Structures are given as C-alpha cells and as structure tokens.
Amino acid sequence: MLYPIVDVPHRLPGVPGETTTLTDDDLSRSFAPGGRLDGLVGALTQRAPVGSTLRTGLCVAVDPDLLQTAQAMADGYQIRAPDGTVTPGTGADAARTWLAGVVAALRGGCVVALPFADADLVALTRSGDEDAAVRAVEAGREVAGDILDTPLQNTLLWPADGVIDDETLSALAGPERLGGLVLASDAVSQAGRTGVVSIENGPDAALADDLLTSAASSTDAPTTPGAPVTSSPAAVSTPLSTQDVIGALGFRATSSSGQAPILLAPPHLWGAEGVGADALLSAISLMADRGLLAPRALTTSGATTRPTALLYPIGAGAQEVPAALVDRTRALVGDIDAVATAAVADPGADVTPDDVFVPLRRAMLRPVSASWRGRPALAARSADLASARLDELRGTVRVLEPPGPYSLGTSDAPLLMTVSNGLPVALDVRIVIASTAGLQVAPIPDQRIPPLGRIQVRVSAQVVRAGQFAVDAIVQTPRGDDLGPPTRLQVRSTAYGTVTVWLTVIAGALLVLLVIRRIVRRARDRSGPPDDPSDGPGDGPGPGPGGPPAPEERWPSPPEPAGTGPTVPMRTE
C-alpha cells in the first residue's frame, strides 16, 4: 500500500531572512491534534510502526513542499489575506510537533518523495517545459532527503493519478532518476493488468488495483486553496471515510486467485483523516492475521510479460493544469533567472545566490501542482499570488525617490541618487536615466549594491534649460533586464544651460550694438556743418524753407492796446 501524506500548496515565494508567508492558516489546524495530517501520522505510528509486519507492506509517499512548509512554520510565520493584510500565524508549535512526528515515523521505512509541490509532470512536458518537470522530481527528492534524514526510494516515481505519457517518460529517463513507476491499471495499453509490468522504452511499473483506487478516491475536492481534503461529506473524523476501501480490499482478499499481488494506491490528495486511516490500517492488519493478506514490500521488478505501451487517458488530459498557466510560470522562472545574473557570490556572506534563487524557482512549481487538476481557477489564483510576490521582491531593487525635487544651482551640478537592494545577496546593477529636453545624463558605470543595503551614486548631468522637469530612473541587470519599477525623479534647475547662456550673450551683444548706434547718430545730429551765406534757400539759419524762423518770427511782440502809450516789449516764454 502507498500511504500518501500530501496537501495543497499554501506557501508564498520568499527569500532567506524573511518571515515565512502563507496564504491561509489551514495547516495549523491540520497539524494540530485531531487535524487531518496529524491523524494520518498518528495512525501510521500506532498501527504500522517501523519493524512491524504491516509496515513491511507500506510505503509512505510525502510531498516535499509540505515538509518544507512545516519546517518553515516552526520558526514563525505570517498569513497574508486576499486583501493584503498580514497577521501572525498561530500554528508554529503544532507544525514543529507534527514534523518531528513525521521524521520519527518514517525513519527506517519505505519512503518515496513525490515531485516538489506534487507538480503536474505531464502538463509541464506537454507544454514544452521539460526542465521544470526534471526540476520538480530532483528537487522533491533532495528536499525530502534533507528533512527526513532517511534513505528514500530515489528512483521510484508515482505520478499524479498514476498516469504518464511517453514524452514525460522520455524527459525523465535515466537510471539514476527513473528506475521504476507506480501506475494506474488503465495507464497501460493492456487493460486489466495487475502486478508488475514492463514498459516499452521505460522502466518496469507496479500497477495499482483500479477498484481499490476508485474506492479511496474522494468525490469532494476542495474548492479553495488549503480547504480540507476529505472523502467524508461532513468533513469529520469517522471510520466511514475509509469504509469503501476496507470493503473493496476485503473483496479482493477473498476473491483473488493464487498469489496475485494487490497494490492499494489512493489519490495523492487522499481524503482519509486520522480515524479513517486508523480503521483502514487496523482492517489490513486483521486480514493479515487471518491469512487473507500477506504484506510485501513494494517492488517494480520481476515483470514476466512482454513490454506494454503507455496509455494516457483522455480524461486525464482534460484535467491537466492549463498550458497557458505553464507558459506563465515558465516566464516567471525566466524573470528569476534574469535577476540571478546580477547576483554576486560573496565568500564571507551567510547567504549565497543559490540560497536565494533556487527556492524561488521551486516556488514556481506550486501554481502547476497536480492538486489543481480540474480546478483551473485555483491554479490561476496561485499563479497570481506567486507573480505578485515576485514583483514585490524585484521592487526592492530600485532608485529611492527623494522627499523633494532635486535642486540644481549650476548647469553641471551632479545628481546624488540612493539605490536600494532589498535582497539578501549582493547585486551588480546598471542605473539608467532617460535624458530629457532639459537634462542630459552621462553614462553611469555599473554599481555593486551590498545585501540588504543602499549605496549613493553620483550622476554627472548637464542642464540645458532652467525650470522643473521629470526624469525616470530604473535599475537593470548588467545584461539589460529591468529589476524594480522605474522611479520618477523631479529636477528643479535655476542654472542657465548652454543654449540659454549663448542666447543671453547674443542678446547682450545686440543690445550693446544698438546703444552704440544710437549714440553715434545723436553725435552726428549735434555736430552739423557751419552756416554758409552761399547756401541756397532752405539752408542755414535764415528765413526760408527748411531754416529756423527769424528772431522776430520766433518771438512776436504782443499788440499794443488801444489808447495806451508805448510799452516795453515782453518775451513770451
């Protein structure tokens, strides 16, 4: 029997040193006593401890992302609501206790690591992202091995829904990566097969019993990220949640001919909770005691029939994570890779570039988790949250906007800019400022910003006009990829630019020339030629056309009043 311990993704992307952020606090309730995940581990510990006969026939399948999330929660975490508000998480102690129980229960037993975040491998490869499929498988085994500290079935692959196509099989091929498969009985061309079969151009595969898988499947899939996954409509802990599996297993045990193997492989998101899992394990143990079943270790070797071809069901294809979503996550990984090109390894630093960017790339597998099969709206929401979080991280690398406009008093005054790096790794960056009609900026040499630090950059600029204007400054990687968003800078200049100075000089020169010209003309008017008797009419001071009036004409005497004597002439002013 495969015993899955899996949940839907809850964690948002982050970097070392940040508080872990989840989309909800549902895991705290699932990890707590009486919760679904706590019950699965408790039932395994009580009914099938390592070394017991029943445990011989069990292989636990774990989601490495779930283990890593629990590990991060144990150090403290926060919840970000859909409206952006952040509240402290309440399940740190429960996560720590649960993870310790998982490590203890799985040590020394059969353990298989699912792809990281239970990624939909077929959807990835069918959309052309084979690298992501390989990354999911390898990352899952690495993370699970580090946390559990126990040997894993590192070449065994159990894909979502037990189905895989030839393209995915080819992408994952290799004896160190893929040595065996666990598939559904309808995933091969020869229907009705059981036991171990040989796959054309691939490794051998153990086929799960379709009746048992159907009985263990939940009809009530969660509709929101983090919602309880249960086969019990009332979502309560009850033995009835696994009664169908127990009945189907009893039927197989009593009707199976000879020593035909029976493999129970529930869905990855198994609906059983603690009480139901306990009831199932107790029933299997009872059947084994009565000789109806004989627990055997899971194996994918020993095929005796000719190879069979893979068959990817049409219904499985219809449930895949949409190709458009795979393309989107691939673009997000490309954005992460672009930022990584600017990262600088510092031997003396506590955090390396891999510590920052490898988890971010893995986080992009959560939107393409097989948990979202048949639920594209939830997959899209997960991608939206991941994209927004990446934008926040990239936005911490930017030119800081000053509290007021830059004031430049001279035409060649420098701009002093502050550049911030909110990532815990040093970055080599390029600062680009777009020249405007009023400001010309010289090229800026690449700058190195320390981790979680700031630097001040002196920018040589030439003002070509006075006034206030805006310029955009952006931080880029050395190869030209934008990091944070552009920063709008306001610049106020009281200096005269080069053009203004030349215009002023020219205007001043023209003014001087005009003044000199006027002075010369006045001087010529005042220094006319001397009087000449021979001048013709109209020339000289005498009467005549063009000359000044005679004195008597200039100042005429007033007429004498009648009957008066002689008067003294008076000059009229």
Alpha carbons 60 and 24: distance in angstroms, whole number: 26
Residue 80, beta-bridge partner list: 86
Chain region(s) in the chain for CATH 3.20.110: 2-317
Indicate if the alpha-carbon torsion angle 184, 190, 193, 197 is positive or negative. Answer: negative
CATH fold of the domain at 398-499: Immunoglobulin-like (2.60.40)
Indicate if the alpha-carbon torsion angle 21, 22, 24, 30 is positive or negative. Answer: negative
Alpha carbons 570 and 555: distance in angstroms, whole number: 9
Output helix, strand, coil percentages for the chain, rounded to the nearest 5: 40, 15, 45
Which burial class, exposed, middle or buried, applies to 201 when counting CB atoms under 10 A from its CB (0-12, 13-18, 19+)? exposed
CB contact at 8 A, 178 and 171: no
Which burial class, exposed, middle or buried, applies to 113 when counting CB atoms under 10 A from its CB (0-12, 13-18, 19+)? buried
pLDDT digits (tens, 9 = 90+) for 123-167: 999 999 999 999 999 999 999 999 999 999 999 999 999 999 999
Chain region(s) in the chain for CATH 2.60.40.10: 398-499
Q: Where are the beta strands (DSSP E) in 264-362?
A: 343-344
In angstroms, the first-to-last Cα distance of the chain is 134
pLDDT of residue 255: 82
CB contact at 8 A, 95 and 56: no
Alpha carbons 12 and 247: distance in angstroms, whole number: 40
* Largest distance between two CA atoms of the chain: 173
SS3 state at 479: coil
Question: How would you list the strands of the sheet with 454-459, edge to edge?
Answer: 398-399, 415-420, 454-459
Pick from 376, 261, 367: nearest CA to 320: 376
Which burial class, exposed, middle or buried, applies to 567 when counting CB atoms under 10 A from its CB (0-12, 13-18, 19+)? exposed
pLDDT of residue 499: 58
Token couple for 167: 């393209």
pLDDT of residue 495: 55
Place of tokens 């549902």: 26
pTM over 0.85: no
pLDDT of residue 566: 46
Residue 22, beta-bridge partner list: 11, 79
SS3 state at 188: strand
DSSP collapsed to 3 states, 11-71: ECCCCCCCCEEECCCHHHHHHCCCCHHHHHHHHHHHHCCCCCHHHHCCEEEECHHHHHHHH
| pLDDT-flagged residues of the chain (< 50) | 219-237, 533, 535-548, 550-555, 557-573
Write down how long the chain is.
573
CB-based contacts of 174-180 (< 8 A; 24+ apart in sequence): 177/134, 177/137, 177/138, 178/202, 178/203, 179/155, 179/203, 179/300, 180/153, 180/155, 180/156, 180/204, 180/205, 180/206, 180/299, 180/300, 180/301
pLDDT of residue 332: 97
CATH dotted code for 2-317 = 3.20.110
Place of tokens 């059969």: 110
Distance of alpha carbon 457 from the chain centroid: 28
